[in-house]
Structure formats: C-alpha cells, structure tokens
Amino acid sequence: MESQETPVATPVKQETTVDVAEASSGAGALSPSGAPPVAELASIDFKVWNPPRSAVVTPGSLPDEYFQPTGEELKAAWQSQSQLVNKLNNAPLKTQAIRDKEAKEKAKRWPETTIRIRFPNQLMLERKFSSSETIKSVYAFVRNALTDEAKQDKFVLYDAPPRRDLKVSDPEVKTKTLTQLSLAPSSILYFSFLDETLNSQTTTPPLLPTILAYATDIPPPPSFDDPAKKVDNRPQTLSSGPVTGSSSGEKKTPKWLKLGKK
C-alpha cells in the first residue's frame, strides 16, 4: 500500500486592499493600529473625510417644512418650466440614434462617478463608481460599511436641494445608471436613517472601525488670489540712485549730464 503524501500549503501573499464587504464580516479586517503604511493606501478604493471644523447647516438637519416651496418659488419654477417647454418645442427633433449617440458621448466623457456620502455629523465617505452602475451599488457599499448593529436599521440616500430620495424600491430610480440620475461626474448624497432618533449630529456615525481608521481632514480649497494684486506692506526705502524729479513736479538735470554739456 502506497503512502499518501500530505500536500504542503503554499503561503499566500496578503493584499493590503480593504474590502468593505469582508471588513463587515470580520474577515481581512485591519485594526486602526495595524493600518498599512501610507505608501500602500493607494490600493484602497474609498476615502473618509472628517467633519469640517466650522459648523455647517445641511439639508439633513433641516425640517421637512423647509423644503416646501413658497408661492413665489412655485411661480418662478412654473415660468422656468414654461421657458424650457417652449425651447424644447422649437428645438429640432432628435431621433433615437442621435439620443443614443449623445448618451454614449456622455458616458465616454465621464466613465467614473465620485460619490460622497455625507452623514448627519458632516463626516463623508467617498468612493468612485462606474457611471454605468445603478444606485443599488451605492446602497450596497454604504450598508457594508456600517456596523452589524446599524445594518439592521433602514436608511435612505438623497440629494438636495430640492430633496430627491434615491430609493432602490423606486421604479424610476432603480433601473437608471448614475449618469442617467444626473450624479456624474461627482455628487454628494445625504445619509439619513428612517428612525430620526438615530440621526445624531454630534456623534460619529456607526461605521466600521476599519473604515473610520482612515479618516482624515478634507484638503482646503485652492486659493485663486492673484499674487500680482497683493499689496506690498514692506517699508519704503530711499533710493540711492540719482534723483530725476521732485514732489513739486520740477524736473532736475543730473550732474553728470551737466558736466557733459561743458
């Protein structure tokens, strides 16, 4: 009887990419103290931005009555819509082939869509999606980033203003791509639990510790100040060169020029 050889397991190289779905189940999770070096963070396909230091009022912190339009707003919207209808009625008709061509050009121009999920306390979770994906992919990413306890609570993603709930159950939303939902090339979606008691503006959202470990301050916006327009506040110094004029406007001839005329 021949002896059976026991197969030797070959070592598997561990990747540093953090898979959100695996992190939610505890597999391959990285602790804050065991985070990979900064040079290896480029392989992680999400970013976490800390809340801004200054208080900002967001649509998530406003009551529903705030989003109810007034009479003047309705009148302005009706006039704008009437102008748009007139413009469309006078515009040349587009065939299905032309519309398909325009959609392909838009998808080619913006192949990826950057989505930032803003939580009630202003913390933001960012990730790039393919513009051909649907809102269901965004919901799956956000749910996998939540803790096990928070996964049991229902939430909604919406953009504003005006508020537009992007629900997976909505037939007008679930089949459209991110480009068709006008979210490309980048958009901010607000996160809100259906249970309002869970939407705290002062506490950290219930994200996995492996996600929060990568939180960093959002970079400041670039400065567009013209350096040429900056005022020079340096003290004025007297020039050591020849004086060619005076405060009274009288022109003086330099001494070297007078000597040359003799």
Would the pTM count as exceeding 0.85?
no
User: Where are the strands (E) in the chain, listed by range?
Assistant: 46-49, 112-118, 124-130, 155-159, 164-165, 186-193, 215-216
Least confident of 21-30, 86-95, 149-158, 168-177: 21-30
Q: What is the pLDDT of residue 45?
A: 85
Please name every residue paired with 147 in a beta bridge, in sequence order, or none if there are none.
none
- The CA–CA distances, whole Å, from 134 to 129, 171, 173, 185 equal 9, 12, 8, 14
Residue % of the chain over a pLDDT of 70:
64
Is the pLDDT at 258 greater than 50? The verdict is: yes
Q: Residue 136 corresponds to which tokens in the numbers above?
A: 């269901």
Per-residue pLDDT band at 65 (split at 50, 70, 90):
confident
Is the pLDDT at 62 greater than 60? The verdict is: yes
Region 163-172: what's the mean pLDDT? Answer: 95
- Whether the Cβ atoms of residue 135 and residue 174 lie closer than 8 Å to each other: yes
- The one-letter code for the residue type at 229 is K
- The one-letter code for the residue type at 126 is E
Is the pLDDT at 122 greater than 50? The verdict is: yes
Per-residue pLDDT band at 257 (split at 50, 70, 90):
low
Is the pLDDT at 252 greater than 60? The verdict is: yes
Is the pLDDT at 134 greater than 60? The verdict is: yes
Burial class (CB in 10 A: 0-12, 13-18, 19+), 18: buried
Region 142-160: what's the mean pLDDT? Answer: 95
Q: What order of strands is seen across the sheet that includes strand 112-118? A: 164-165, 155-159, 186-193, 112-118, 124-130, 46-49, 215-216
Mean pLDDT rounded to a whole number for the chain: 76
Is the pLDDT at 197 greater than 80? The verdict is: yes
> Per-residue pLDDT tens for 36-52?
443 333 345 899 999 98
